[in-house]
Amino acid sequence: MRPLGLYIHFPYCGRRCPYCDFAVSVVEAIPHRAYADAVLAELRMRLRGGAWSERAVASVYLGGGTPSLWAPAELGRVLDGIAAALPVAGDAEITVEVNPGAAESASLPELFAAGANRVSFGTQSFDPRHLHALGRRHTAEESASAVGRARAAGFENVSIDLIYGVPGQTVEDAARDVACAAATGADHVSAYSLTLHPGVPMEKDARAGRIRLPDEDAADAIETAVVAGLQAAGYPRYEISNYAPTDRRAVHNGGYWVGREYLALGASSHGFRLVSGPAAAEPAAASGGLRYHNLSSAERYLATMAEGADPTAKSEHLGADTLLQERLFLGLRLTDGVDLSALAAWCGIDPADRYGAVLAGLEAEGLVCREGLRVHPTERGLRFADSVAQRFF
């Protein structure tokens, strides 16, 4: 059976953070039960006809939004529904994103009892000034104590997110955040540079001069400190924004970078599957793939599922060429890089035929290097990952 990732999107948040451009819904009363019913109905709908058969669930990821706001009994009902409908590997990674605030993470023991075995905390910072700038509701103390609370609830696999490049942040501040992250004993750290899409409140404030983001030199120095600090603290970088020892790398997110299929449920989620399975001697991607995007509005999603209709807003067929292109630029986000011969066997196209000149150019510029048939990014290639990706278009 092929490994499958399963993503469930929970679109509700207590309030909107000023840097967020996700499709989130802030409502007086979260429809806990109705949303679980809708997700389970979508699961039944997607599995009808056997399109996802011959797969075993290797990972489940509950993201958002703020899935830790979901009543644990309802979240557990969804996990039970998945286990009843699909084969789930005994060692499947089952992650829930949780806000580190003591109140919002009070359900950690119930989440563990419901079947989750990994927590990803939206910690973002350990500095009260930067938590305030990011509009987060939890305190620095709660950032520091969250991993311990997760351990006490039974979780042996805990990840924390950091955001750097926050207004007013210095290199020393960033280094302190990294040291605090390491001191929690988390198993995995994701560190993202603050990105402000046009129109979000913080972007408007920055444009109007009400807040000052680090300039380009300061942002570079902060990023360098974060990367070096995490590695020195025992978190090797394995992807542009992700750091962990090999046995703690994220299974679910790792699937996105290596072309694993993922079934997605819930408002605003998007899924991907190969159109035909790999029959003997047939490359997995020979017939291409299918990606679907669900309705982004939580209200419309709920109404659509209540009518028994299909929540797909858009779907697209991806030819083997597109799959190859995606595998290359996503694979070059990983320090392990891409095995070109395995990729040729997977999609039925030799990457050297299509992208030989691009790869040679990237190598000449010191952005990638080759070891046999494997090509992987250099440190410079990771730093300029967006420009590397653009070369494949």
| Cβ distance to ligand SF4 smaller for residue 17 or 375 | 17
The reply on whether position 23 binds ligand SF4 by CB under 6 A is: no
Q: Which of 2, 22, 109, 310 binds ligand SF4 (CB under 6 A)?
A: 22
Q: Which of residues 216-235 bind ligand SF4 (CB under 6 A)?
A: none
Q: Using CB atoms within 10 A of its CB, is residue 346 exposed (0-12), middle (13-18) or buried (19+)?
A: buried
| Cβ distance to ligand SF4 smaller for residue 296 or 378 | 296
Question: Do the beta carbons of residue 113 and residue 79 sit within 8 Å?
Answer: no
| Cβ distance to ligand SF4 smaller for residue 138 or 248 | 138
The reply on whether position 196 binds ligand SF4 by CB under 6 A is: no
| Cβ distance to ligand SF4 smaller for residue 19 or 292 | 19
Taking CB under 6 A as the binding criterion, the range among 12-20, 234-242, 246-254, 263-271 that sits at the site for ligand SF4 is 12-20
Question: Do the beta carbons of residue 107 and residue 69 sit within 8 Å?
Answer: no
| Cβ distance to ligand SF4 smaller for residue 13 or 320 | 13
The residues facing 57 across adjacent strands are 4, 88
| Cβ distance to ligand SF4 smaller for residue 24 or 211 | 24
Q: Which of residues 256-295 bind ligand SF4 (CB under 6 A)?
A: none
Determine how many CB atoms are found less than 10 A away from the CB of residue 229: 21
What b/e sequence results for 60-92 when a residue is b if at least 16 CB atoms lie within 10 Å of its CB, and e otherwise? bbbbbbbbbbbebebbbbbbebbeeebebeeeb
Taking CB under 6 A as the binding criterion, the range among 46-54, 63-71, 192-200, 267-275 that sits at the site for ligand SF4 is 63-71
Give the shortest CB-73-to-ligand SF4 separation in angstroms: 22
Q: Which of 58, 59, 62, 66 binds ligand SF4 (CB under 6 A)?
A: 66
Give Cβ neighbours of residue 99 (< 8 Å, ≥ 6 apart).
14, 66, 68, 105, 121, 122, 137, 138
Taking CB under 6 A as the binding criterion, the range among 58-66, 255-263, 272-280, 376-384 that sits at the site for ligand SF4 is 58-66
The reply on whether position 20 binds ligand SF4 by CB under 6 A is: yes
Binding mask 91-130 for ligand SF4 (x = CB under 6 A): -------------------------------x--------
Taking CB under 6 A as the binding criterion, the range among 39-47, 61-69, 219-227, 334-342 that sits at the site for ligand SF4 is 61-69
The reply on whether position 13 binds ligand SF4 by CB under 6 A is: yes
Question: Do the beta carbons of residue 178 and residue 229 sit within 8 Å?
Answer: yes
Question: Do the beta carbons of residue 126 and residue 140 sit within 8 Å?
Answer: yes
Q: How many residues in total does the chain contain?
A: 393
Question: Do the beta carbons of residue 15 and residue 137 sit within 8 Å?
Answer: yes
Give the shortest CB-364-to-ligand SF4 separation in angstroms: 40
Angle at the Cα of 155 from the Cα atoms of 153 and 157, rounded to 5 degrees? 160
Taking CB under 6 A as the binding criterion, the range among 16-24, 80-88, 106-114, 177-185 that sits at the site for ligand SF4 is 16-24
Closest CA to 166 of 134, 144, 136: 134
Taking CB under 6 A as the binding criterion, the range among 15-23, 166-174, 248-256, 261-269 that sits at the site for ligand SF4 is 15-23
Q: Which helix H or strand E contains 331, and what residues bound it?
A: helix 320-331
The amino acid sitting at 272 is F
Taking CB under 6 A as the binding criterion, the range among 40-48, 60-68, 210-218, 376-384 that sits at the site for ligand SF4 is 60-68
Give the C-alpha separation, 206 to 203, whole Å: 5
| Cβ distance to ligand SF4 smaller for residue 122 or 283 | 122
Q: Which of 4, 6, 8, 24 binds ligand SF4 (CB under 6 A)?
A: 24
**Quick one: residue 186, left, alpha or beta (phi over 0 = left, psi -120 to 50 = alpha)?**
beta
Give the C-alpha separation, 243 to 334, whole Å: 11
The reply on whether position 162 binds ligand SF4 by CB under 6 A is: no
Strand, helix or coil at 290?
strand
Residues that bind ligand SF4 (CB under 6 A): 13, 16-17, 20, 22, 24, 64-66, 122
